[in-house]
Amino acid sequence: MKTKKVWKVTSNVITGILFLLLIFMIFVVVSSKASGGEPNFLGYQLKTVLSGSMEPTFMTGSIIAVKPVENPTSLKKDDIITFREAENKLITHRIVEVNKNGDQTMYVTKGDNNENKDGDPVLSQNVVAKYSGFTIPYVGYFLDYAKSKTGTALLLILPGLLLLGYSGLSIFKALKEIEKGKGKEVEETV
């Protein structure tokens, strides 16, 4: 009787984990597609680290959470910012110098792992977000894969199939138990 209870608890835990995995995958894929890039979560944007310029602060392949900046002129030295360098190129580096000239604010930036400062100062209006201090190593590789057509299909279908397969197995085991119970009833009545 005790093994049945352990099996039931284990079964419920596995079903719950598979269901949460499916919901998380749907969120990642839909959020990535809707935003046209990295997913957003509770007002934070999740960005993938593509180079080692900020190591050891965050490693290549990590995801970092950045918060969109409301007042880009209020940033200070040592803040880590994400800024637009070109039309489709975002960079995340540390502010090493703040230069104010009238109502124009510019930031001199540098990657923690780079020997030299970045070539051009960053105009405050090109600052997109500020690093929140939240990093998850290596998950960025996964998010990049999730953005591909193959990754999208696989990440939506695989957890669903696992959940479906596990549900089928649970139903099969339950039917087997019912059959055992009916067999015992027949033996007792004879």
- Contact yes or no for 112/56 (Cβ under 8 A): yes
51 annotated active-site: yes
Alpha-carbon distance of 57 to 112, in angstroms, equals 7
Alpha-carbon distance of 23 to 18, in angstroms, equals 9
Residue 119 pLDDT grade (very low, low, confident, very high; cuts 50, 70, 90): confident
pLDDT at position 114 is: 92
User: Which member of 11, 32, 35, 51 is catalytic?
Assistant: 51
Does residue 69 register a pLDDT over 80? yes
4-17: per-residue pLDDT in tens? 788 778 878 887 88
75-113: per-residue pLDDT in tens? 999 999 999 887 778 889 999 999 988 888 999 999 999
- The gap from C-alpha 168 to its chain's centroid, in whole angstroms, comes to 30
- The gap from C-alpha 150 to its chain's centroid, in whole angstroms, comes to 18
pTM above 0.85, yes or no: no
Does residue 190 register a pLDDT over 70? no
120-158: per-residue pLDDT in tens? 899 999 999 999 888 888 877 777 777 677 877 777 777
Domain ranges of the chain: 1-36+148-190
